[in-house]
A and B are shown apart, each in its own frame.
Chain A
Amino acid sequence: MGDISYPNTISVGTVVSEDVRENLFVPKSTPDSLAVIDGFLDEDNLASAVSSEIPKGLVRRGSFTRPETTGSTLNLDYFREPFDGSWTMSWDAAQERALAIPGCTRRFNIPWDDCKAVYISFRLEVVVDAGYGFDVGNGDYYDTRDNSGTLLDDGSFTGGTYGVNSDYPGETRLMLFYDGEPVKGVSRIIQNGVQGVAKPFNYSGTVDNPNDPMFSAVRHWSGSAIIDPNGPFGSGSYQLSASAADQLAKGFHNVSIRIAHQVYQVRVRTRHITVIPLR
């Protein structure tokens, strides 16, 4: 921006004083006169060697990165009520109803005009309580393991007359949102885990231990993504609607992991979400 190339070339013929004045003093919309000295010097005015190797003496706190992080340690329980109603699970439907998860939500500031990318990293643990199974033939309730003790991981019972309680038919989906819009591909369908995380409901009267080392029901999601002008988020089915350049504009932005589900209860433990704008 501040490259001094001079608006007028003084090379042949009679020197015009106005040309000299413009070269010296006149601020131009394209800052190419010596007027850039008055507060408009920038990268273009540095020695070329600096561009290939930035000297330590030039580095200032916050010049290149501005990391921020958030986390929490409490159990966050999401019951079915916020997601009640007659709706069929899909990515579109889940995105419309998704709630931001505290501890995995961050509002952050990009302080530069020329932000090149935003790095996002996060980690959380999820236990999905799918409710209870229902024996269609006998009208009995069963927990979410089959007769051999195998955890029924996909919410559907197999072999015989077992069925899923119609009150809790669905799935649990987590999604990364950036500036209020879903980021395509950065999402998870979380497999069901246990029955009775908070409320014992089990024909045997026992409560599952989600941390059981043999039948661990704690699902982990540690993810990362980079928003940049050339990245994968500018087109496709779950793109950010505006161009990535808008997502990198100077000012405040927000990022969050959101949840929508159609099960009985989902317990979330967030570890962190870290946002690093890169200049």
Chain B
Amino acid sequence: MPVTYTPPKEGDDLSVANMTSPFTALRTGVNALEEEDVEREALRDVHLPNLINTSRFTDGLCAVDESSGGFQEYANGLAMSGGSTFPVNLQGFSATASDPGGLTAPYGPLTEATISPSRYDEEGWRIVCNSGGTTYAIEVPCVAMELDGDDTYTGCLVRASCNFRRSSDSPGGANVAAYGISIGIGWEDTGGNKYVIERSVRHFSSSAVNRGDISTFAYIEDADLNAGVDRVTKFFLVFATCQLTPTAANVGYGWEAQVDNGIITVWPMRAGSL
């Protein structure tokens, strides 16, 4: 935007009428510079807006498990799409009400499960959370927003991980080939509905990652928010056990697993029109 104004001429009165118009024009022009208004590359990084505006993430861009040594025992198996048959339902959350610690489904473990191979206690994802309540859930809330640029960001790079501490079947055990653990990244809309980004779901053999870290990530765009219809209010980490070699005899077979040190990071992106 060019700065156009009529400068006072020699002999003009120093009047309000003569001053207001050029001052206003100068202010408007300089306060709305564009690249073409100045010499190329004259504008420096201080002229650019910040890539991240953290005001949309009032609780920060990161959530960690603060238990520092505690762990949670999960006994939830992935839900099946049709009763007890494959394929699994990757959108199913546990609906079991709460556990004695006051955690409300689907947050945290349902019970203090006993480590031994047994059927699952429940079906569906649980959001990783220690027994301290949902305050310590591995989730990052945000001011409700679309991811199409209208609400600042065009996407969010979300990474989440937790430590798989122990399984109910030791490495080398009879059932290790069938036992797996699953994690994924989920999000919640303004109506409180929870979803899982299915491409973020990772299944691990309990043997391969025994006592190690399991991680996943996803770049979440507007199309992931129910085809851009909804707005996201939080991102979170979900966990479930699963079986890797389903048979008719053990479909739906779940087991207990211990998890600790969950963490999630959200990196909002302003990619603009690429």
| A contacts, CB < 8 Å to B | 3-6, 10-13, 15, 17, 20, 23, 34, 36-37, 41-48, 50-60, 62-65, 91, 112, 114, 116-117, 119, 121, 149-151, 153, 184-191, 213-216, 218-233, 236-238, 278-279
Residues of A within 8 A of B207 (CB): 213-214, 216
Question: Are the C-beta atoms of A224 and B210 separated by less than 8 Å?
Answer: no
Report the bound CA distance from A216 to B170 in whole Å: 11
B172 within 8 A of A: yes
Give me the 8 closest cross-chain CB pairs, A-B, nearest first.
Answer: A231-B60, A185-B64, A63-B45, A220-B212, A226-B62, A230-B60, A64-B51, A191-B211
Question: Are the C-beta atoms of A226 and B267 separated by less than 8 Å?
Answer: yes
Distance in angstroms from B224 CB to nearest chain A CB is 20
Report the bound CA distance from A55 to B65 in whole Å: 39
Question: Are the C-beta atoms of A117 and B54 separated by less than 8 Å?
Answer: yes
Report the bound CA distance from A232 to B61 in whole Å: 9
Report the bound CA distance from A58 to B68 in whole Å: 44
Q: Which among B29-37, B80-88, B103-111, B183-191 touches the partner chain?
A: B29-37
Q: Map CB proximity to A onto B20-33 as digits: 1 under 8 Å, 0 otherwise.
A: 10010011001111
Question: Are the C-beta atoms of A187 and B68 separated by less than 8 Å?
Answer: yes
Residues of A within 8 A of B267 (CB): 119, 226, 278
Q: Which of A23, A47, A237 contacts B66 (CB 8 A)?
A: A237
Closest to A238 in B: B68
Report the bound CA distance from A64 to B267 in whole Å: 13
Question: Are the C-beta atoms of A222 and B64 separated by less than 8 Å?
Answer: no
Report the bound CA distance from A158 to B107 in whole Å: 33
Closest to A55 in B: B35
Question: Are the C-beta atoms of B261 and A185 separated by less than 8 Å?
Answer: yes
Q: How many A-B residue pairs have CB under 8 A?
A: 215
Report the bound CA distance from A151 to B171 in whole Å: 8
Question: Are the C-beta atoms of B32 and A4 separated by less than 8 Å?
Answer: no
Question: Are the C-beta atoms of A225 and B263 separated by less than 8 Å?
Answer: yes
Distance in angstroms from A211 CB to nearest chain B CB is 12
Question: Are the C-beta atoms of B19 and A46 separated by less than 8 Å?
Answer: no
Question: Are the C-beta atoms of A214 and B172 separated by less than 8 Å?
Answer: yes
Instruction: Tell me whether A20 and B52 are in contact in the complex, defined as CB-CB below 8 angstroms, given that A5-B27, A223-B213 are known contacts.
Output: no
Q: Map CB proximity to A onto B46-78 as digits: 1 under 8 Å, 0 otherwise.
A: 111111111001111111111011000000000
Closest to A116 in B: B52
Report the bound CA distance from A60 to B46 in whole Å: 11
Near A by CB (< 8 A), chain B positions 1-42 give 1, 14-16, 19-20, 23, 26-27, 30-35, 41
Residues of B within 8 A of A188 (CB): 163, 213, 261
User: Which of B20, B27, B53, B211 is the most central at the interface, judged by chain A CB atoms within 10 Å of its CB?
Assistant: B211
Report the bound CA distance from A221 to B215 in whole Å: 9
Q: Which of A15, A214, A233, A278 contacts B52 (CB 8 A)?
A: A278
Residues of B within 8 A of A15 (CB): 14-16, 19
Distance in angstroms from A53 CB to nearest chain B CB is 5
Question: Are the C-beta atoms of A42 and B47 separated by less than 8 Å?
Answer: yes
Question: Are the C-beta atoms of A57 and B35 separated by less than 8 Å?
Answer: yes
Instruction: Tell me whether A226 and B61 are in contact in the complex, defined as CB-CB below 8 angstroms, given that A63-B48, A151-B170 are known contacts.
Output: yes
Distance in angstroms from A29 CB to nearest chain B CB is 18
Q: Map CB proximity to A onto B141-175 as digits: 1 under 8 Å, 0 otherwise.
A: 00000000100100000010101011000111000
Instruction: Tell me whether A58 and B47 are in contact in the complex, defined as CB-CB below 8 angstroms, given that A44-B31, A151-B171, A223-B161 are known contacts.
Output: yes
Distance in angstroms from B138 CB to nearest chain A CB is 10
Residues of B within 8 A of A52 (CB): 149, 152
B209 within 8 A of A: yes
Instruction: Tell me whether A53 and B149 are in contact in the complex, defined as CB-CB below 8 angstroms, given that A15-B16, A226-B265 are known contacts.
Output: yes
Near A by CB (< 8 A), chain B positions 232-274 give 261, 263, 265-267, 270, 272-273
